[in-house]
Chain A
Amino acid sequence: MKKMILGATAAALLASPALAAPSAEQTVTINGTAPTVCTLGAPTSANLVGNLNVTGSTVTVTGLFDAADATMDAGSVTLRFAGMCNYPHNVSLKSANGYLYNTTSNVAPLSGTFFRRIGYNAAYAWANVFRPTAIPAVDSTLAGQSGVAVTSADAAVSGANLGTLNVTLRFDGSGTTPVVAGNYTDSLTVQIGADL
């Protein structure tokens, strides 16, 4: 059996007029599905203003409290998250309480004016969406604990995106109003994908 391969001949054969020569064929289809996926890494901090401290996913504002007069200074920080969504998606923030609330004391001041909850602003920028007040700054308040969750408005991203999600936290300080002693906390959820 004599077998040869000639590329030029092959090309000529393939280009031949379509006279009906005996032939047979099989067509193999190759299928696969890429799932919808979003990833969001741990934050790093940038643009630190004031005596804030960021460790991992914890922002500590203790340094903003002035032990001399019990007031709170202003401060801000940007948290940077490496993110990716491979489909059109949403970006949203949610404050569990809407404030930093005092977890150790719910005793109303006997007299005078004190802040018992501390408001803050959270902004974000991701893909082509920028929300300067995603979590609007609520004035620090004299009210006690029992905060109410605050969720940012829906923000749709029109396609897949890979990049950095920036979340900037801003604390305006208490001015001359003293803050009741205690531990203050809130939990801020940052999400890309489904809306919160």
Chain B
Amino acid sequence: MKNVLGITAALVAVSVAGSAFAAPTATQQVSINGSMADTCTVGQPTVVGAATNASLAGNIVTVQQLASAADALIVPTTITLNLDVMCNNAGYLTITEANGGLVRAGGVGPTVPGQENNFVRKIGYNLETEWDGLAALGKNRSRPHNGSGFINGNAPLPIAYITWGAAHSNAEVKFTIPADSRPVLAGDYSTTVRVRAQSSL
């Protein structure tokens, strides 16, 4: 393309030097266009700082000792994750909890009648989030430990960050399980937290 333009310029120069009257000329304009689509990316999580009683492998956080083998009391846990988030235009980031707590596989599990609240059967946590220095309503969540057998209930509203322009920085998700005076019912517990970036429509 540059060659065509260069040749055209040379012809014009020759024309100017060789004749005082207008010679026939021809020109072409070439437009060069491109379109970058709206895009968002979310990288895999990495651990920030020192985790307490938890480790990360891929997208799975394993709480190493959820409860003490001596008394079944919760062992406090903290882990902070960073996820590289980029949106090349206005967009928003949502952080969605599946259950508002770690729920027990197979349901709440049995207790002797009347004993339900003497045990933790849904493990609560604190969730603290940050993205790009933005504010967000409810960016920090505190989910209490629960013994009543309440499991899912209403799906918690996502934490939502909005950016009105392109943004590229780490989203930080700090996950903490606090202690409790009640023992935990034996079993496997889990939950999921989804971090989603989406361009504005």
Contacts and interface: CB of A to CB of B under 8 A. Distances in A.
A36 B186 contact: yes
Contacts, number: 205
A11 B38 CA distance: 21
B164 A2 contact: yes
Nearest to B61: A30
B11 to A, nearest CB: 46
Given A37-B72, A159-B111, A161-B112, A32 B66 contact: yes
Interface residues of A, number: 45
Given A4-B164, A33-B66, A33-B187, A27 B112 contact: no
A29 B59 contact: yes
B115 A159 contact: yes
Interface of A: 1-7, 9-11, 13-14, 16, 19, 21-37, 39, 84, 86-88, 127-128, 157-163
A28 B112 contact: no
A37 B189 contact: no
Nearest to A30: B61
A34 B189 contact: yes
Given A25-B42, A26-B45, A157-B112, 5 more contacts: A2-B164, A3-B167, A14-B158, A33-B66, A37-B71
Contact of A23 (B40, B45, B115, B161): B40
B94 interface: yes
A1 B184 contact: no
A34 B59 contact: no
Interface stretch (B1-9, B14-22, B24-32, B193-201): B193-201
A6 B192 CA distance: 26
B119 A86 contact: yes
A28 B92 contact: no
Contacts of B160: 7, 10-11, 13-14
A160 B194 contact: no
A34 B184 contact: yes
A28 B66 CA distance: 17
A84 B60 contact: no
A117 B62 CA distance: 57
B126 interface: no
21 contacts: A1-B164, A1-B166, A3-B132, A10-B136, A10-B137, A10-B160, A21-B198, A22-B38, A23-B40, A24-B198, A25-B196, A26-B42, A26-B44, A28-B61, A29-B191, A32-B64, A35-B67, A39-B72, A84-B71, A86-B119, A87-B187
Given A14-B158, A30-B191, A35-B69, A160 B123 contact: no
B144 interface: no
